[in-house]
């Protein structure tokens, strides 16, 4: 199938790699020096846990042409930037658009795309479980992933229809990449913040290096997420993926999550690839997500969140974070 990937960061690049390996006709929209790198040397990825490197050669464009048609478009952009590409996405001649990544205004974005679209479109939302960083010096991406990768995907308040599921499975056919159908991606994207924001708070509290964290801080991080999931449930917001909140409660799953935190803290490479690199480079997105989640918390003013507050107060104010990480 003919696929367009709008965005070529870590997540978009791994997605491109998978789509190429599935035999699709893949085009990547990129700009600047990274576009030149992709054009001249191809997409080179070092898969950290798998201890291997891959090289793919997707088509590379800097802008969308009106006469180009695609079977599907995957837009992989940070939350603070994806709003700027909604109009171009509406202008793409493609029946399926998947917005991949953090998103606290999915309904608004879907409405804008459908209002301005040049053809009949279906809008889905996805979240790919991938992390990593760009190694500019060596012209490659370092990717952290488990297995062949996976994406949680669905419509705003339903799973994709059967025909769309078949199409998506064909797009990823033969790759081992897992598609998890979700019944309510709006709830999913809210639930996700209950898990990731405490990690961000701790990363910022430790100056962008989670290996400096203490066991007490890591325990506080899990308790903070537990409170956040409880608060969302109090508001009637479904936990998705289903039972994810169990990883923050006492029991086997809770012990597993605490072990994951321990590994992140004891391995600078893993901690950087999974959490700190993103916090340092995507601080604008993290600030926007924190503000949006804060508005949800404000709907339950009496709900107790002492651990959440105790962890968050350890990080600097956002103004100080912006000054620390902004590039000159």
Same domain (yes/no): 243, 103: no
Rounded to an integer, what distance in angstroms lies between the CA atom of residue 106 and that of residue 158? 13
* First CA to last CA distance, the chain: 41
Same domain (yes/no): 172, 306: no
Same domain (yes/no): 157, 204: no
Range 209-217 average pLDDT:
92
Range scoring the smallest mean pLDDT among 157-161, 233-237, 305-309, 321-325:
321-325
Same domain (yes/no): 174, 66: yes
Residue 41, H or E segment: helix 32-41
Same domain (yes/no): 173, 192: no
Whose tokens are 């939302």? That residue is 125
Q: Which of 150, 168, 183 is the last residue of a domain?
A: 183
pLDDT, averaged across the chain = 93
Range 182-197 average pLDDT:
97
Residue 125 — very low, low, confident or very high, per pLDDT cuts 50/70/90? very high
- Domain with residue 48: its CATH number is 3.40.50.720
Rounded to an integer, what distance in angstroms lies between the CA atom of residue 112 and that of residue 91? 11
> Higher pLDDT residue, 264 or 168?
168
Answer yes or no: is pLDDT of 109 > 90.
yes
Per-residue pLDDT reduced to its tens digit, 65-96 = 878 899 999 999 999 999 999 999 999 999 99
Same domain (yes/no): 47, 126: yes
Same domain (yes/no): 169, 197: no
Same domain (yes/no): 179, 192: no
Same domain (yes/no): 88, 12: yes
Residue 193 — very low, low, confident or very high, per pLDDT cuts 50/70/90? very high
- Structure tokens belonging to residue 282: 């995507």
What is the reported pLDDT for 48? Answer: 85
Range 56-66 average pLDDT:
89
Same domain (yes/no): 140, 239: no
- Structure tokens belonging to residue 319: 């103004």
Answer yes or no: is pLDDT of 42 > 50.
yes
Q: What is the DSSP letter of 84?
A: G
Q: Which of 149, 183, 217 is the last residue of a domain?
A: 183
Per-residue pLDDT reduced to its tens digit, 10-19 = 899 999 999 9
What is the reported pLDDT for 327? Answer: 67
Contact, 204 vs 196, CB < 8 A? no
Answer yes or no: is pLDDT of 273 > 90.
no
Q: Supply the DSSP string of 192-237, one letter for each residue.
A: HHHHHHHHHHHHHHTTT-GGG--HHHHHHHHHHHHHHHHHHHHTTP
Contact, 5 vs 76, CB < 8 A? yes
Contact, 132 vs 124, CB < 8 A? no
Q: Is the pTM of this model over 0.85?
A: yes
Same domain (yes/no): 179, 211: no
Residue 105 — very low, low, confident or very high, per pLDDT cuts 50/70/90? very high
Answer yes or no: is pLDDT of 328 > 50.
no
Same domain (yes/no): 217, 148: no
Rounded to an integer, what distance in angstroms lies between the CA atom of residue 312 and that of residue 318? 11
List the one residue out of 191, 240, 199 whose CA is nearest residue 218.
Answer: 199
Q: Give the domain extent around 238.
A: 187-325
Range 197-206 average pLDDT:
95
Range 266-286 average pLDDT:
86
What is the reported pLDDT for 276? Answer: 86
Domain tally, the chain: 2
Whose tokens are 């590409």? That residue is 85
Q: Which of 153, 183, 213 is the last residue of a domain?
A: 183
Helices and strands, counts by H and E, the chain: 14, 12
**CA of 276: how far to CAs of 154, 226, 233, 265, in Å?**
28, 21, 28, 10
């Amino acid at each position: 199938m003919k696929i367009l990937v709008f965005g070529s960061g870590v997540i978009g690049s791994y997605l491109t790699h998978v789509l190429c390996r599935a035999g699709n006709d893949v085009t990547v929209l990129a700009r600047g020096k990274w576009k030149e790198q992709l054009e001249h040397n191809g997409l080179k990825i070092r898969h950290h846990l798998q201890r291997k490197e891959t090289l793919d050669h997707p088509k590379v464009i800097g802008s969308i042409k009106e006469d180009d048609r695609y079977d599907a478009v995957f837009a992989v952009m940070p939350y603070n930037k994806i709003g700027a590409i909604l109009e171009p996405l509406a202008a793409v001649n493609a029946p399926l658009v998947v917005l991949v990544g953090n998103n606290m205004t999915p309904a608004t974005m879907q409405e804008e795309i459908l209002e301005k679209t040049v053809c009949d479109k279906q809008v889905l939302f996805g979240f790919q479980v991938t992390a990593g960083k760009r190694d500019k010096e060596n012209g490659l991406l370092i990717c952290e992933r488990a297995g062949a990768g996976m994406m949680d995907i669905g419509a705003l308040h339903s799973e994709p229809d059967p025909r769309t599921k078949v199409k998506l499975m064909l797009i990823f056919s033969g790759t081992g990449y897992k598609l998890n159908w979700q019944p309510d991606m709006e709830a999913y994207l809210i639930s996700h913040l209950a898990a990731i924001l405490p990690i961000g708070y701790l990363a910022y509290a430790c100056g962008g290096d989670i290996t400096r964290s203490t066991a007490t801080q890591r325990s506080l991080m899990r308790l903070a997420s537990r409170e956040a999931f409880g608060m969302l449930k109090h508001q009637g917001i479904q936990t998705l993926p289903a039972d994810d909140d169990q990883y923050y409660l006492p029991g086997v799953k809770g012990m597993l999550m605490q072990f994951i935190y321990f590994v992140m803290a004891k391995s600078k490479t893993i901690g950087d690839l999974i959490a700190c690199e993103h916090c340092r480079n995507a601080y604008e997105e993290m600030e926007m997500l924190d503000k949006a989640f804060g508005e949800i918390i404000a709907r339950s003013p009496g709900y107790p969140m002492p651990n959440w507050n105790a962890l968050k107060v350890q990080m600097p104010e956002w103004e100080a974070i912006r000054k620390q990480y902004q590039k000159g």
